[in-house]
Structure 1
Amino acid sequence: MIKISIVIPCRNEALYIEECIHAIYAAEVPDEVKINVFVVDGMSNDGTRRIIQQLQEEFLTLKIVDNVQQLTPFAFNLGIHATSCDYVQIIGARHIISKNYLSVCLQKLNEDSSIWCVGGRLENEYVNETGKVIALAMGTQLGMGIGNFRTLSKSGFTDTVTSPMYPYGVFEKIGFFDEELIRNQDDDFNFRVTQAGGKIWFDADISLKYYVRGNYKNLWKQFYQYGYWKVYVNRKHRTFTTVRQLIPPLFVMYLLLFLFTWLFGATVGVAGSFPLIVYLALTAITTNRLVQQDHQLRFGDIFKTFSILHISYGLGYLKGVIDFVLLNKKPSDKQKQMSR
């Protein structure tokens, strides 16, 4: 019997948790595979727990684990430690996996022992018009960067994936998720995987739907935190875990310097405008392409979304540099609050 523990970190996800769990139990797995599902709940107060308890009557291997810390890395580790297993599959509460997700992950891990982690293609979903615009922007290379798991379309090795499956032995080799990292704990863990000699496989034949943030305030906070915590991960490892992470903070620094150059006159300011013109042109071209695909979209909304993704991440990253590199501070309590 092969045992897979499925860990779902969750807090106040009443809108999505039922669909997430139904998709897991609808997944196709070999007869010799037993699935245990652990919803590690951060003491939800929106009816999420009641929904899970109702589903437990239908799915006997569905369990709730309390996460009193209400933070994601604690949820990961609590779920992993909840029972003995051969494989650990992490699935976000807003992730809806395809029917072949579990079987393909299992197959890839069994085929090649050098692969320590497998994940699939992300399909952004939404519940309102703002979410639709955000989903489309996050599905582009301009929005998320070349090589980001959100924009990959071909199977191959990569540096990180979402909703990953690991053999349990990986945790015995490199430890568990870093509970100090409120954000980017999965990036940190997958970086440790590759540093230890393991490979990460992105499989385009499996997919999961992901419900993006539905308003700009939460999107800004989400990506600001991504940038902020990325610096903390870098400091822990004394290296940059990816090159693409540097582009948004460099762009924000350029914008600040560009504004400063106008103090020395229009000639100097105009001379420094070329990178901004290139950025605006690329953003306009990508935005126009999305509008042509759906004429109900508004050009200004999509254009604004790209700016929010890039500037919020860049500002968060620069704040992280100030706090962690220049001032040698601990993470801000404000940035430990999640953006749901």
Structure 2
Amino acid sequence: MPAVSYVMPVLNEEGFLERAVETILSQDYAGEKEIVLALGPSRDASNSIAERIAAADPRVRLVANPERDIPAGLNHAIRASSHPVIIRVDAHSELTPDYTVRGVAALRETGAANVGGVMRAAGSSPVQRAIARGYNSPYGLGGGAYHGDGTPGPAESAYLGIFRREAIEAVGGYDPAILRGEDWELNLRIRRAGYLVWFEPALGVTYWPRGSFGDLAKQFFATGTWRAVLVRKYGRANPWRFFAPGLLVVSLAVSIVLLGLQVAGVLPWGWWSIGWSPLAAYALAICFAVWRIPGQRGLRDRLLTGATLVTMHTSWGMGFLRGILFGGGRVVDRSRA
């Protein structure tokens, strides 16, 4: 079994860091392991927790990430690591015990440069569970393979990722200027360099999403903004589904304005009423999605699921429009802060 290096950026993760590291150290994998934590300037006890973990286990190493951004932290951790297989991990994720052995086997069997599996979101509160349902449903995040079960095969991108070091080094690592969507951007460069990215649904990762709608909105606004930056940079290489939330927000805004003008008596009802049909169609689509999404119990769950979907769609869409017009700037996800 080849030796593996796990790399994890850490910022304000005191409630999740210890458990995330435990799932790595307990991997059912016979090869040599090391964990490199890239510590940002956390405002909570994350860094002291990391120092305590590193002092107790020599397999855990620490590096500084003064830039605090995820891509920079990953690059710092990769440079400080030493093994031929690099596994990206997240403080809000928990690996299944066989994650590493299955991932390394897929690298060998397929010849891929990067292998990723399924992100299975989970929640502990009613709101977080609703947000998890949005993550796990195609009605929430669209058609990304790693948000649901599927068949193994070549992929556009990969969740987290189990990489061959030589592939990451060949393309220069993560782009520190891309503050969100860095996984997709890196995998695009890997594929353009002639390497294979592989989806392996047998790989499972539990992901703990944001726990409030306010934090979810911040996260998705930043995600939409940086998706627009990637659209400006890579154009048609982006799947069509990434344009949908921005178009949705524009159509909803037009519908609401027209409806408001009709209610105020500025416009007649007549044919102008066609203008707010996108608003009605979207409301019906949300009702249909809420009806189809599994795992809900009672009216409260369904209302929370509907609020989750609307927050995801509109926050991403508004961020996308901001990014198309003005670029990314320093829009970052501060919801973990």
Same fold (TM over 0.5): yes
Asked if structure 1 preserves the Cα contact closer than 8 Å seen for 2:36 and 2:81, the reply is no
Equivalent position of 2:119 in the other structure: 122
- What are the within-5 Å matches in structure 2 for residues 31-70 of structure 1? 31=30, 33-70=31-68
Separation in 1, partners of 2:251, 2:237 = 20
Separation in 2, partners of 1:143, 1:332 = 26
Separation in 1, partners of 2:295, 2:50 = 41
Equivalent position of 2:264 in the other structure: none
Classify the secondary structure of the residue corresponding to 2:147: coil
What do the CA deviations read for 1:87-119 (whole angstroms, capped 9, x no partner)? 111001111001111111111111122x22111
1:300 aligned residue (300, 303, 328): 303
Question: More deviation in 57-66 or 213-222?
Answer: 57-66
Separation in 2, partners of 1:45, 1:276 = 41
Separation in 1, partners of 2:83, 2:231 = 31
Classify the secondary structure of the residue corresponding to 1:255: helix
- Cα RMSD after superposing both structures: 2.0
Separation in 2, partners of 1:265, 1:122 = 49
What do the CA deviations read for 1:7-64 (whole angstroms, capped 9, x no partner)? 01111111111111111111111x3x21110011103232122222332344221011
Query: Unaligned regions of 5+ residues in structure 1, if any?
Result: 325-330
**1:142 partnered with 2:139:** yes
1:252 aligned residue (233, 249, 254): 249
CA drift of 1:215 comes to 0.9
Residue type of the partner of 2:37?
A: V
Residue type of the partner of 2:335?
A: S
CA drift of 1:260 comes to 4.2
Residue type of the partner of 1:24?
A: I
Separation in 2, partners of 1:311, 1:253 = 10
What do the CA deviations read for 1:174-205 (whole angstroms, capped 9, x no partner)? 11111111111111111112222222222111
Question: More deviation in 57-66 or 134-143?
Answer: 57-66
Equivalent position of 2:222 in the other structure: 225
Asked if structure 2 preserves the Cα contact closer than 8 Å seen for 1:258 and 1:269, the reply is no
Equivalent position of 1:241 in the other structure: 238
Aligned-pair identity in percent equals 23
CA drift of 1:337 comes to 5.1
Asked if structure 2 preserves the Cα contact closer than 8 Å seen for 1:65 and 1:79, the reply is yes
CA drift of 1:276 comes to 3.4
Equivalent position of 1:338 in the other structure: 334
Equivalent position of 1:82 in the other structure: 80
CA drift of 1:154 comes to 3.5
Separation in 1, partners of 2:294, 2:139 = 15
Equivalences, count: 330
Asked if structure 2 preserves the Cα contact closer than 8 Å seen for 1:98 and 1:208, the reply is yes
TM-score after normalising by structure 1: 0.90
1:271 aligned residue (256, 269, 274): 274
Asked if structure 1 preserves the Cα contact closer than 8 Å seen for 2:88 and 2:162, the reply is yes
Separation in 2, partners of 1:296, 1:226 = 30
Separation in 1, partners of 2:294, 2:38 = 40
How has the CA–CA distance of structure 1 residues 272 and 199 changed in structure 2, closer, same or farther, with 3 Å as cutoff? farther
CA drift of 1:224 comes to 0.6
Asked if structure 2 preserves the Cα contact closer than 8 Å seen for 1:38 and 1:64, the reply is yes
TM-score after normalising by structure 2: 0.91
1:207 aligned residue (196, 204, 208): 204
Equivalent position of 1:313 in the other structure: 316
Classify the secondary structure of the residue corresponding to 1:298: helix
How has the CA–CA distance of structure 1 residues 302 and 47 changed in structure 2, closer, same or farther, with 3 Å as cutoff? same
**1:107 partnered with 2:109:** no
How has the CA–CA distance of structure 1 residues 172 and 53 changed in structure 2, closer, same or farther, with 3 Å as cutoff? closer
How has the CA–CA distance of structure 1 residues 292 and 338 changed in structure 2, closer, same or farther, with 3 Å as cutoff? closer
What do the CA deviations read for 1:298-322 (whole angstroms, capped 9, x no partner)? 3322211111100000010011111
Residue type of the partner of 2:74?
A: F
Classify the secondary structure of the residue corresponding to 2:206: strand
Asked if structure 1 preserves the Cα contact closer than 8 Å seen for 2:221 and 2:317, the reply is yes
How has the CA–CA distance of structure 1 residues 291 and 139 changed in structure 2, closer, same or farther, with 3 Å as cutoff? closer
Asked if structure 2 preserves the Cα contact closer than 8 Å seen for 1:144 and 1:151, the reply is no
Separation in 1, partners of 2:235, 2:285 = 33
CA drift of 1:296 comes to 6.8
Query: Unaligned regions of 5+ residues in structure 2, if any?
Result: 262-266
Question: More deviation in 45-54 or 35-44?
Answer: 45-54
CA drift of 1:248 comes to 0.6
Asked if structure 2 preserves the Cα contact closer than 8 Å seen for 1:133 and 1:297, the reply is no
Separation in 1, partners of 2:162, 2:117 = 10
Equivalent position of 1:328 in the other structure: none
CA drift of 1:121 comes to 1.1
